[in-house]
Each structure stands twice: as structure tokens, then as C-alpha cells.
Amino acid sequence: MKATYKDVKSDIMSKITKGDWAPGSLVPNEIELAAIYGCARATVNRAMRELADDGIIERRRKAGTRVRSSPIRQARFDIPLVRREIEDKGAEYRYSLAGRAVEPAPDWLRARLNLGTGSKVLHLICMHYADGDPYQHEDRWINLGMLPQAEDADFTQTGPNEWLVATVPFSDAEISFSAGLADAKLADYLASKEGDPVFTIERSTWWEGQAITYVKLCFRPGHRMTTRY
Amino acid sequence: MKATYKDVKSDIMSKITKGDWAPGSLVPNEIELAAIYGCARATVNRAMRELADDGIIERRRKAGTRVRSSPIRQARFDIPLVRREIEDKGAEYRYSLAGRAVEPAPDWLRARLNLGTGSKVLHLICMHYADGDPYQHEDRWINLGMLPQAEDADFTQTGPNEWLVATVPFSDAEISFSAGLADAKLADYLASKEGDPVFTIERSTWWEGQAITYVKLCFRPGHRMTTRY
DNA sequence: CAGTGGTCTAGACCACTGA
DNA sequence: CAGTGGTCTAGACCACTGT
């Protein structure tokens, strides 16, 4: 008898997917559900809270709980270290540093990260290989105002990503995916042709409102980012 | 005094990000933490459970809780209906059906969805516009073995996506992002040029092991998919 | 086998918000 | 102001898994 929160969750889920509870309709309140399932209200609460987190239902105090009319489906993507991503595929990982310079932050970067006019940044160009083949091109910019010690770090052996996760935390990040074209330079790095489509990830991170780093990652042609849910 | 689960969560979060609790190190158990924060164990449990869900810590019975050495950062993307996506941007949504055919499932589709040899599918080509400009091209395949009623549905006014979310549930989905090139046909649909890079989403959904639909969505050049976390 | 997290309970009070 | 979800508690038992 006594239902667990998983029982309650999956039973309600099936009521919704089977159409017993139509989209937009009002769901019994927690006390009623607790009586129906013969469990404590806290148990029902946990089930409902998870369904709300999953975007299946919508809860409001006093107004009650409703089935979402068009369920907001969400997908979760892991953002792993490139090295782990490659090694998890069973391939051998290799890294190389292709460029390093300390520069004043260019205008587009200042705008993107909300940096002041005098800001200095460390600019790195890196390549990541899987079994010797180009896998990912990394165009990395680190805010030296926040991380002066980055200037003395040795990025010839390990990538800046690994250094960063070990060195600084971040409180806030923005990530975006898009499709771009390989120019001559990028095509050369990725051993592909100019005009090939490249899957691109851009990420900016902040710590307590201060920009830490911006990175643009370009994958070899054919790359897919996949998840199940 | 009495800490809430949010207090506990954010305090532990800051202990980790500040380095007080190093990556890989063992965290006090729930009873000790409850004593430290002066709250019930259930409160600590909820805080820790959420941190574990966020990939910040790793919990194992008997072994205790550890700070993850390289935090698995995850990003969540909403997968909205195109119409909502466009309307939320404040643009006017328009839809049109550009092609419709009932065919035997081609080999690549059978392989992808694990369909039998005799399978029939409904193949639809649709366009979605934002303020009159091409926004997204939809190449949709619906398994008629699972959804025979799709053959009689009218897709000239509303897109198959809306029909599907209102008609059938799904238990399982796979989504993948990639970058592709516009061929002459696609470029024509999207009012772009051949060879332009297009951001592409592919999604397959199943219900209890049976394939429902596969769709390939191509966005107009310049499209970005962004999230914060 | 014993330590740790996972879950449930019955009851309580609070916070928000719709009528 | 009253109904609903949000959270906390103190205690209990269970499930898993290192040692």
C-alpha cells in the first residue's frame, strides 16, 4: 500500500501522459493526494516538487497545481572537460598550445564581458586532439584583472580549462551554441576545408559580477552534441 | 539561528568555491552538519541532495559525501515549441506546410528509429516564420505504425509539433545539436545562400520503446541557442 | 556488520496569493 | 482572509556498501 514518492511521481506522470489529467487542468491538492495514495503529505510534496522541476506541472500557492498546457521539455547537457570527453570515447588525448599573448581587451570582448577600458587579457590559442586528429580548437581569453596569476601559469602542458577549474570557481556562466564556417586559419587547425561548417560553443563565466574568462570552442566538422532525456 | 535548506546549501557551496573544502575531500556527514547548522537532518539532506543533483558533490552510502574533483557542470536548455519561442521574442509567428507525403521509411530512418522493414511514415516539410522572415525549417517524419491517425490530421494550419504534443506523450527522447551547410533547397527555404552554416537540431522520440517521430530542425543563419547557469 | 545516506511520518507553522 | 504549497522537525526504519 504505502506509496513511495517515486510511486506517486510515476503514477501522476502516467495519469498525465495517458490523458486522464488533461493539460491545463487542476490537480487535487496535496492533502487529497496524500489520502488517495495513503502516504504523508511530505511524500506527495516531494513527488510534485520534482514534477514541477521537470516542467510537467505548475504550482502556485492558493491557486493549486495544474498540468502544464505545453510541457516545457528540458534537456540537460553535461559540459565536461575536453580531455575527459575524448578519453571517455576511448581515444587518446593530446593537447598543444598554439598561441599566447597579453593584450588589451578588444572592444567586442569588453562589451561581452562588461570590462573596463584599460583591461588586459591573456589570449591563448589551443588545440585538442583525439587519437592524433584535430578535435577542438580553443580560443581563450582570460581577464588578467581578476586573475593576474594566469600570466605566470604554464599552459604548454595542460590546457587553460583544466587550470581554471582547479584555480577559480565561478558563480555565473552563459553558454551558447551556434553554427559557424571555418575560415582558412581555422580550417588549417582542424585539418578541414575552408567553408566547412563548424559547431561552436561560446562560454563566458563570472565570479561575483566580475568577468573571469571567455572562450570560443570550435569542433571538427561532423561533431554532434547529444543527450537523452 | 535555525538554518533553512537554502542557507545550508549556499553556505556549503561557498565553502567549496572558496576552497575551504578541497575537491575530492570528505564532507562531514549529515548528522554532524545538522548539529553545526542547528537544524534537522532532513534539512541538511535536502541541501545535500540538491548539491548532488547539481553535480557539485558526490554521495555514496557508507562512504560518505565528497566534493567532486572536477565538477560536472551541466546546462539546461528549454526545448520550447517554435511558436512560443518566436512569440516570446515579441515577433509574429507564421507557419506553412511546404510538403506532405506518405512513404515507406527510408533505410537511414529505419536504422535511426529502429523500425521494421514494412514501416510507413508520414513525411512533412514545414516552415516557421518570425515577423515574416524564415526562422526554422522543419523536416518531420512520423511513424504511421504508431500513429495512424496522423494521416488524417490537417497540418496546413498548425504544425505537426503542436499536434504531437497535444496528441501523444513520449517516454524517451534523444536530441542532438550540430552544424550543417545549407544546400540549394534549404537555402531557398531559409532565404539564405547555399553554403551558409545552419544550426541543426535533431530529435527522435519514443513511447514505450516504439518510435513516434524523428525531426530535423534547421535554423536561419546566425541562430544561437543560449542559456545561463 | 556497522556507518552513511535515502526515505517516510505526523504534525506544525509560515508565506504567498487569489477571491 | 482563507486555501494552498513551502518548509521544518524529531524520530524512525530501511538500503546499500565499505571494511
Alpha helices in B102-183 (DSSP H): 107-113, 160-167
**Residue A9: pLDDT over 70:** yes
Please report the pLDDT score of residue A172 as a whole number. 78
Question: What is the C-alpha to C-alpha distance for residues B197 and B200, in angstroms, rounded to an integer?
Answer: 9
Q: pLDDT tens-digit profile of A87-138?
A: 888 899 999 999 999 999 999 999 999 888 888 999 999 999 999 899 999 9
* Sheet hosting strand A210-219, strand order edge to edge: A93-104, A120-130, A133-143, A210-219, A197-207, A172-181, B224-228
Please report the pLDDT score of residue A169 as a whole number. 67
Rounded mean pLDDT, B6-31: 89
Using a 10 angstrom Cβ sphere, with 0-12 exposed, 13-18 middle and 19 or more buried, the burial of residue B72 is middle
Listing DSSP states for A117-179 in one string gives TT-EEEEEEEEEEETTEEEEEEEEEEETTT-GGGGGS-TTTS-HHHHHHHH---SEEEEEEEE
In degrees, rounded to 5, the angle at the alpha carbon of residue B221 between the alpha carbons of residues B215 and B223 is 75
Question: What is the C-alpha to C-alpha distance for residues A102 and B157, in angstroms, rounded to an integer?
Answer: 56
pLDDT confidence tier of residue A1, bands split at 50, 70 and 90: low
Question: Is the model more confident about B164 or about B71?
Answer: B164
Question: What is the C-alpha to C-alpha distance for residues B52 and B222, in angstroms, rounded to an integer?
Answer: 36
Q: pLDDT tens-digit profile of A207-218?
A: 877 899 999 999
Nearest to B165 among A71, A74, A181 (CB): A71
Q: Which nucleotide is nearest to A45 (CA to C1')?
A: D5
Minimum distance, in Å, between the CA of residue B33 and any CA atom of chain A? 22
Neighbouring-strand partners of residue A58? A66
CB-contacted nucleotides of strand D (7 Å): 2-12, 15-19
Which residue's C-alpha is at the least distance from the C1' of D15?
Answer: B61
Largest CA distance in chain B: 68
pLDDT > 70: what percent of chain A?
97
Count Cβ–Cβ pairs < 8 Å, chain A vs chain B.
128
- The pTM of this model reads 0.82
Minimum distance, in Å, between the CA of residue B152 and any CA atom of chain A? 21
Q: pLDDT tens-digit profile of B70-99?
A: 777 777 887 778 888 888 888 999 999 999
Are A70 and B84 within 8 A, CB to CB? yes
Please report the pLDDT score of residue A74 as a whole number. 76
Please report the pLDDT score of residue A140 as a whole number. 96
Strand D closer than 7 A to residue A168 Cβ: no
Please report the pLDDT score of residue A47 as a whole number. 95
Residues sharing a CB contact under 8 Å with residue A154, sequence separation 6 or more, in sequence order: none
Please report the pLDDT score of residue A163 as a whole number. 85
Are B198 and A200 within 8 A, CB to CB? no
Give contacts of B198 with chain A, Cβ < 8 Å. 179, 197
Give contacts of B81 with chain A, Cβ < 8 Å. 70
Please report the pLDDT score of residue A24 as a whole number. 86
Mean pLDDT over each residue of chain B, to the nearest integer: 89
Q: pLDDT tens-digit profile of A25-56?
A: 899 999 999 999 999 999 999 999 999 998 88
Q: pLDDT tens-digit profile of A157-168?
A: 989 988 887 777
pLDDT > 70: what percent of chain B?
97
Question: Is the model more confident about B45 or about A165?
Answer: B45
Q: How far is CA B144 from CA B119, B121, B125, B202, B214, in A?
A: 8, 5, 16, 19, 12
**Residue B200: pLDDT over 90:** yes
